[in-house]
Amino acid sequence: MRTQPIDQYASRVGEETRTAVYEGSKIGHEKRTKVLFDHYADPDRLRALAGEIKQHVVENLDNYLPAVEERLTANGARVHWASTAEAACEAVHSILRARGATKLVKAKTMVSEEIGLDDYLRARGIESLETDLGEFIVQMDHDHPSHIIKPIIHKTRRQIAVLFEKNGLGAYNDEPGVITRRAREFLRHKYLEADAGLTGANFVVAESGRLVVVTNEGNSRFCLAATRCHIALVGIEKILPRDRDLALFLNLLARSGTAQQLTVYNEFILGARGPGQPDGPDEVHVIFVDNGRTDVLASDCRDILRCIRCGACLNVCPVYRQAGGHAYRSVYPGPVGAVLSPLLLGKRFPEKADLPKASSLCGACNEVCPVDIPIPDLLLRLRDRAHAEGVPSPGTPPMGAWAILATQPAAWKTALAAGRLLNHIPSSLVPVAALRAWELKRDLPKWRGGEFRKWLKIRRH
Amino acid sequence: MPGAGRTPVAGRRVQLMATCLCDAFHDDVAAATVEVLEHLGCEVSFPEAQTCCGQPAFNGGDWPASRKVVRHAVRTFSAADPVVVPSGSCAAMMFHGAVLEFEHEPDLGEVEALGRRTWELGDFIVNGLGVRSWPGRFDAAVALHRSCHTRGTGSGDAVALLLASIAGLRLVEFGEEEQCCGFGGTFSVGFPHISAAMGDLKLDHVRAVRPDVLVSGDMGCLMHLGGLAAREGMPLRSMHFAQVLRDAMGRIP
């Protein structure tokens, strides 16, 4: 039976992985909801406000980007513009090459995953090491993250202990404390050996040129303190207008993402180390990455650029919980990824045009989104676009014949009567794929086409 | 979204949009809807030319096909009286989905006008007519599945209010109530494995609290959940809330 790729993937997900993803997401969602509603009388108003601020930024990016460049430059940072993934990788490489750097430590950057930076640098003899525990594990396992903020939500501690043993990080031990300590010991040396530190940025404030990076492990702080050169890879949509907006966004991000009042480590970076300052890099580079974002901006789905990557929509999504993040074949999985990932492909949209179909349109993602993105509406627009571009969609019933019936009342009534045949012949003989897909898992109720109309007629006489 | 800019209900004449699922499978739900509305003094008309709200194609991505069907609905329900529909999903299609797909169409205004006068049944009874309690008796523990298309609308609370007011009826809560049942229209056939897994989770949560009946305002959800339960050999009694209201009236003390 031809069903959608994500459905096929989900049907093959092992029980251990499915349980890990399901439980991890469910707990994340429940904690998020409790903390938001415990702390705020009306979190939905905060979400709406944050959405308006981010939408304002998105609608005015053409003004904000030059303003940010000016502030960053005045603060002593070097600003680079990369329109493609390749250009962004090149920008990183040329900064490293100029310093003769061969070792890079990374923290908190999904954009580096998006642009394929690791492979690019490895091919040029540069080691690029993840320092977030989850990302570190993913990198060691030659795997990919399956969640925006919980990259190893799909792994169990047993699997991680096996991986550590295989990679010489100590004999099998699946105690989370032991796993963390071993990673820490390994990574501490790496920070000291590194020539440069690479991070993303959760926010860049236009007013001050302040870069904001939040982590729970402090690895961003080590990257910044131990290396002489800081490179920030930033999507062009990451701007906030004013410093005071951070009060709203940091509070919403921490609660939506990890059910914390505030993420443990919040770095506010205003440029390179100044005279008399003991720590911090001598050079700060900010690389603004487009890589398809202006195409998104030009589309009718630009609202998705509000996203602050909290992962709440993944946690609540019943489809994500069943399929897991890898099913989406993208750096950004789940509901937000189902919108963003195909759009970021630009003209290659058809390659991921099935992702927007992977939703029952239940709307839970919109309900939890800290910037109130109308994700179901955007998914629907992309379905329309896929259909208009003629992208095949296995499992989606063709609607042409239905539209003819549903616009001609006489034909509709005939079809209602004819449907009774379904009560008498096995559905395997009915050449309707949708019916077979339905009956794969469910019984069909008895066809009673036209009975209501008959009842009404009798009642009215 | 619904509520905002809703055309106020004047008079007691309503047009019934029965839904294609009731037209094809669940005739008793449409009949119960008529009886409930008539009990409230409504004069119910049934425009014979009605077919479907256009949602299957809208949801499946074939917006040109969907717009044809929506235009048919606009013509069919052209009278000024409120359109009442025993489905949160079809109601949301009229006041939200159709508006989205007509954004750039010249007849957007007519579609919006139909949306403004279309009501989900529970929302209509409570927020349109101002009815806040229901007479009669219905002795049962009821698990109420609030369908996803009633998120952010008055329907969920309206139905809960009506049901809770019925003598003998006890609403029972169950786990992860806000989660989707997995129906999702074309989703149910494009993603049968995920859809069924979602439905099984819902059934597990519902069965855990041992209700006498599972009630919803959307036959799509109940057809999916009922179909799964039947296939598994563990049938579950399920009803549309209109049937509960109608049956309760039959036992007015």
pLDDT tens-digit map of A251-287? 999 999 999 999 999 999 999 988 888 878 999 999 9
Strand B13-16: give its sheet, edge to edge. B43-45, B13-16, B83-85, B118-120
Label residue B170 left, alpha or beta by phi (over 0 means left) and psi (-120 to 50 means alpha).
beta
> Is the Cβ of A3 closer than 8 Å to some Cβ of chain B?
yes
Task: Evaluate if residue A375 carries a pLDDT over 60.
Answer: yes
Does residue B62 contact residue A399 with C-beta atoms inside 8 Å? yes
What integer is the mean pLDDT of A60-72? 98
Task: Evaluate if residue A426 carries a pLDDT over 50.
Answer: yes
Query: Inter-chain contact A26–B149, Cβ cutoff 8 Å?
Result: no
How high is the mean pLDDT of chain A?
95
With cut-offs at 50, 70 and 90, classify the pLDDT of residue A365.
very high
Q: Helix or strand or coil: residue A448?
A: coil
With cut-offs at 50, 70 and 90, classify the pLDDT of residue B139.
very high
Chain A positions touching B59 (Cβ under 8 A) are: 361, 380, 383
**Is B8 inside any structural domain?**
no
Determine the Cα angle at B212 with ends B211 and B215, to 5°.
80
Domains identified in chain B, total number: 2
From the CA of A252, how many Å to the nearest CA of chain B?
21
Scan for tokens 């404390």, then name that residue.
Answer: A177
From the CA of B71, how many Å to the nearest CA of chain A?
9
Task: Evaluate if residue A138 carries a pLDDT over 60.
Answer: yes
Do residues B105 and B152 both lie within one domain?
Answer: no
A86/A100 Cα distance (integer angstroms):
20
What integer is the mean pLDDT of A376-395? 96
How high is the mean pLDDT of chain B?
95
> Is the Cβ of B30 closer than 8 Å to some Cβ of chain A?
yes
A45/B69 Cα distance (integer angstroms):
36
Which chain B residue lies closest to A5 (C-alpha atoms)?
Answer: B191
With cut-offs at 50, 70 and 90, classify the pLDDT of residue B3.
low
Does residue B245 contact residue B159 with C-beta atoms inside 8 Å? no
A48/A431 Cα distance (integer angstroms):
47
| Predicted TM-score of the model (pTM) | 0.96
- Catalogue the E-assigned strands of chain B: 13-16, 43-45, 83-85, 118-120, 137-145, 167-171, 213-216, 238-240
From the CA of B129, how many Å to the nearest CA of chain A?
23
For residue B22, CA distances in Å to A307, A455, B31 come to 40, 12, 9
Q: Which domain holds residue B98?
A: 13-128
- Chosen for mutation from A313, A360, A408, A457 (greatest number of chain B CBs closer than 10 Å) is A360
Task: Evaluate if residue A145 carries a pLDDT over 80.
Answer: yes
Residue ending a domain, among B128, B148, B171, is B128
CB A343: neighbour CB atoms within 10 A? 25
CA A111 to chain CA centroid, Å, is: 11
pLDDT digits (tens, 9 = 90+) for B70-105: 999 999 999 999 999 999 999 999 999 999 999 999
How many residues make up chain A in this entry? 461
pLDDT digits (tens, 9 = 90+) for A103-121: 999 998 999 999 999 999 9
B140/B244 Cα distance (integer angstroms):
10
Query: Inter-chain contact B189–A357, Cβ cutoff 8 Å?
Result: no
> Is the Cβ of A418 closer than 8 Å to some Cβ of chain B?
no
Question: What distance, in Å, lies between the first and last C-alpha atoms of chain B?
Answer: 40
> Is the Cβ of A15 closer than 8 Å to some Cβ of chain B?
no
Does residue A144 contact residue A154 with C-beta atoms inside 8 Å? no
> Is the Cβ of B178 closer than 8 Å to some Cβ of chain A?
yes
Q: In chain B, positions 39-98, which contact chain A (CB-CB < 8 Å)?
A: 46, 48-52, 54, 56-63, 65-66, 68-69, 71-72, 97
**Is B1 inside any structural domain?**
no
Amino acid at A38: D
pLDDT digits (tens, 9 = 90+) for A330-345: 999 999 999 999 999 9
Do residues B39 and B118 both lie within one domain?
Answer: yes
CB B208: neighbour CB atoms within 10 A? 11
> Is the Cβ of B188 closer than 8 Å to some Cβ of chain A?
yes
pLDDT digits (tens, 9 = 90+) for B204-245: 999 999 999 999 999 999 999 999 999 999 989 999 999 999
Task: Evaluate if residue B253 carries a pLDDT over 70.
Answer: no
Phi, then psi, of B13 in degrees rounded to 5: -90, 130
**Is B5 inside any structural domain?**
no
pLDDT digits (tens, 9 = 90+) for A277-327: 887 899 999 999 999 999 999 999 999 999 999 999 999 999 999 999 999
Chain B positions touching A388 (Cβ under 8 A) are: 63
> Is the Cβ of B221 closer than 8 Å to some Cβ of chain A?
no
Determine the Cα angle at A334 with ends A332 and A339, to 5°.
70
Do residues B114 and B175 both lie within one domain?
Answer: no
CA A129 to chain CA centroid, Å, is: 21
Task: Evaluate if residue B1 carries a pLDDT over 70.
Answer: no
Does residue B73 contact residue B50 with C-beta atoms inside 8 Å? yes
From the CA of B179, how many Å to the nearest CA of chain A?
7
Do residues B186 and B237 both lie within one domain?
Answer: yes
CB A309: neighbour CB atoms within 10 A? 16
Does residue B51 contact residue A411 with C-beta atoms inside 8 Å? no
Chain A positions touching B69 (Cβ under 8 A) are: 403, 406-407
From the CA of B67, how many Å to the nearest CA of chain A?
9
From the CA of A389, how many Å to the nearest CA of chain B?
11
Q: Helix or strand or coil: residue B24?
A: helix
Chain B positions touching A367 (Cβ under 8 A) are: 151-152, 178
**Is B3 inside any structural domain?**
no
**Is B174 inside any structural domain?**
yes
- Chosen for mutation from B53, B186, B221, B228 (greatest number of chain A CBs closer than 10 Å) is B186
Task: Evaluate if residue B19 carries a pLDDT over 50.
Answer: yes
Task: Evaluate if residue B4 carries a pLDDT over 60.
Answer: no
* CATH number of the domain bearing residue B198: 3.40.50.1860
From the CA of A176, how many Å to the nearest CA of chain B?
28
Q: Helix or strand or coil: residue A238?
A: coil
Task: Evaluate if residue A460 carries a pLDDT over 60.
Answer: yes
Task: Evaluate if residue A229 carries a pLDDT over 90.
Answer: yes
% of chain A at pLDDT higher than 70: 100
What DSSP designation does A399 have? -
Q: Two tokens at A10?
A: 């989900």
Which chain B residue lies closest to A409 (C-alpha atoms)?
Answer: B49
Q: In chain A, positions 424-443, which contact chain B (CB-CB < 8 Å)?
A: 433-434, 437-438, 440-443
Chain A positions touching B101 (Cβ under 8 A) are: 380, 384
Residue ending a domain, among B88, B111, B128, is B128
Chain B positions touching A444 (Cβ under 8 A) are: 227
* Per-domain residue ranges of chain A: 5-11+308-388, 62-291, 410-460
With cut-offs at 50, 70 and 90, classify the pLDDT of residue B10.
confident
The neighbouring-strand residues paired with A287 are: A80, A233
What integer is the mean pLDDT of B180-208? 97
% of chain B at pLDDT higher than 90: 92
From the CA of A144, how many Å to the nearest CA of chain B?
22
Question: What distance, in Å, lies between the first and last C-alpha atoms of chain A?
Answer: 48
At a CB cut-off of 8 Å and minimum separation 6, what does A382 contact?
A301, A339, A342, A343, A353, A356
Scan for tokens 């009306």, then name that residue.
Answer: A42
At a CB cut-off of 8 Å and minimum separation 6, what does A378 contact?
A301, A303, A304, A339, A356
What is the architecture of the domain spanning A62-291? Answer: 3-Layer(aba) Sandwich (3.40)
**Is B110 inside any structural domain?**
yes
Chain A positions touching B34 (Cβ under 8 A) are: 456, 459
Residue ending a domain, among B93, B128, B163, is B128
With cut-offs at 50, 70 and 90, classify the pLDDT of residue A219.
very high
